[in-house]
Amino acid sequence: MELAGGTPENIGKMTVFLRDEKYRDSINKAWLKMSPDEHNRPDRHAVKADLGGEVLFQIEVMAVL
């Protein structure tokens, strides 16, 4: 996204797919650091998913540039 001129402020929606719920706290900490203003955060959903191989989590981001 950065290569296209975008920043985290351009994110409209983010979906996080977690292999295990134990990773949710780490994802939440990073999310709050990236989007500290609780009144101006993009939509975000985190769901448990059966990810292939050794993948711990996968993130899908939709942004408006």
Q: Which domains does the chain have, with CATH numbers?
A: 2-63 (3.30.1330.40)
Predicted confidence at residue 53, as pLDDT, reads 92
Predicted confidence at residue 8, as pLDDT, reads 87
CA distance 52 to 32: 27
Asked if residue 1 has pLDDT above 90, the reply is no
Please state the rounded mean pLDDT for residues 21-25: 93
Asked if residue 61 has pLDDT above 90, the reply is yes
Q: 40 by DSSP, 3-state: which?
A: coil
**Average confidence score pLDDT of the chain:** 93
CB 5, CB 55: distance < 8 Å? no
- ∠ CA 2-36-25 to the nearest 5 degrees? 95
| CB neighbour burial string for 9-20, b if at least 16 within 10 angstroms, e if fewer | eebeebebbbbe
